[in-house]
């Protein structure tokens, strides 16, 4: 694994650890800017598996409303890969496995995510696209985390 790929893996895992702590309500509310908004480019777009286009303001608003709303929520990140490196940006993919996801149609789910981010640290997330993993893929891997 390259140094860049390791740094990207750490970025993705760190951000998702924050998500869990935020929705579990086990982190201070004052951490939102340092732990979330500082990672999001001002023009970031997020497309969840349902296919809506969500702006940075809507992402942050959703997080504010969701604080402590899901004490049993857990995430595991798998299969992080840097797919493309450009001069100033990179495209990475990963799978995100969730347990007790109250905001999802299925509380136990998995999604394939592509993220475009700046190549230089601190990373800035520019575009995020998620797609549900098919049932046969979810059934082949355990939700044992």
103 falls in which pLDDT band (50, 70, 90)? confident
3-state secondary structure of 50: coil
Is residue 145 one of the residues assigned to a domain?
no
Is residue 128 one of the residues assigned to a domain?
yes
The parent domain of residue 32 ranges over: 3-140
Strands 89-99 and 109-118: antiparallel
The CATH number of residue 129's host domain is 3.10.450.50
pLDDT tens digits, residue range 10-40?
A: 999 999 999 999 999 999 999 999 999 999 9
Number of domains in the chain: 1
How far from 61 is each of 14, 19, 54, CA to CA, in Å? Answer: 20, 14, 11
104 falls in which pLDDT band (50, 70, 90)? confident
Is the distance from CB of 130 to CB of 47 less than 8 angstroms?
Answer: yes
At 116, list the tokens: 């475009």
97/16 Cα distance (integer angstroms): 11
Residues ≥6 apart with Cβ < 8 Å to 36: 15, 18, 22, 59, 60, 63
pLDDT in the model for residue 106: 78
Residues ≥6 apart with Cβ < 8 Å to 21: 27
């Amino acid at each position: 694994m390259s140094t860049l790929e390791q740094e990207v893996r750490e970025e993705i895992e760190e951000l998702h650890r924050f998500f869990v702590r935020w929705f579990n309500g086990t982190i201070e509310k004052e951490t939102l800017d340092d732990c979330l908004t500082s990672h999001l480019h001002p023009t970031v777009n997020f497309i969840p598996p349902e296919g809506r286009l969500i702006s940075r303001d809507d992402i942050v608003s959703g997080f504010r409303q969701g604080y402590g709303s899901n004490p049993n929520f857990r995430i595991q990140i798998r299969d992080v890969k840097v797919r493309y490196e450009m001069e100033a940006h990179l495209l990475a993919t990963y799978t995100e496995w969730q347990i007790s996801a109250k905001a999802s149609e299925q509380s136990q789910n998995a999604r394939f995510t592509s993220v475009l981010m700046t190549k230089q640290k601190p990373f800035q997330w520019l575009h995020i696209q998620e797609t549900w993993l098919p049932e046969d893929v979810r059934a082949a891997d355990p939700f044992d985390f």
